Amino acid sequence: MPEGVSGHLFVLSAPSGVGKSTMVRALLARDSRLRFSVSCTTRAPRPGETDGVDYHFLTRDTFEEGIRGGRFLEWAHVYGHYYGTDRRHVEAWLADGFDVLLEIDVQGARKVRASGLAATTIFILPPTLSALEERLRRRRTETEDVIRRRLDAAEAEIREAPWYDYLVVNDVLEEAVTDVSAIIRACRCERTRAHRALTPFLPLL
């Protein structure tokens, strides 16, 4: 990262079951300049989840205190629980020149865009709704009622996809990860070129 160039924010959204968490892990393994902001939530940990790795698990009182105190860059109330992004980590990484990846829903993405922070938004689509339903059922972790609610929510979220900067279909995981990596690299090249082109003219700016 050239001196004086701050990092950039990338927002990744997708319906539940599309595989965005798996994609995030693959992106981080590929890219040492990318930082992932672990979301805060009031929901209980699922089997195998670790506090501070998968989520920062907070009590409802702590989360609501954070809302009042401006702790969160964005937050939303989803499926009866709060989810949010701690702004302190994000702003510190950006100031240090790292690019930051947020894995958040459509509500959160709109709030990030409204916050004034420059962000590139990426929406991950399933190949088809029937493929998404198959993935949700294959997990065998949720009731029929929850699956139906998630599918209804997926349809609503997909209707919001056109306002995102980029759309990527996760049919073959490796190909989808490569597509998102290419978007990140292209944004870096654009910012780097602009910085270098302006360097001789900085005294005039």
109 a known binding residue?
Answer: no
Provide the domain count of the chain.
1
| 174 inside domain | yes
| 58 inside domain | no
Amino acid at residue number 57: F
20 a known binding residue?
Answer: yes
**The two structure tokens encoding residue 169:** 């279909």
Average pLDDT per consecutive 10 residues, the chain (205 residues; last block may be shorter): 71 94 96 96 94 95 97 90 94 94 93 91 96 88 87 95 97 97 94 72 74
| 134 inside domain | yes
| 15 inside domain | yes
According to the model, what pLDDT value does residue 203 have? Answer: 79
- The CATH number linked to 32 is 3.40.50.300
18 a known binding residue?
Answer: yes
106 a known binding residue?
Answer: no
16 a known binding residue?
Answer: yes
Angle between helices 144-160 and 129-139 (to 10 degrees): 140
203 a known binding residue?
Answer: no
How many residues are given for the chain? 205
| 173 inside domain | yes
- Residue 46 CA to chain centroid, in angstroms? 20
| 93 inside domain | no
| 49 inside domain | no
15 class by beta-carbon count within 10 Å (0-12 exposed, 13-18 middle, 19+ buried): buried
115 a known binding residue?
Answer: no
| 92 inside domain | no
17 a known binding residue?
Answer: yes
Containing structural domain, residue 27: 9-38+98-204
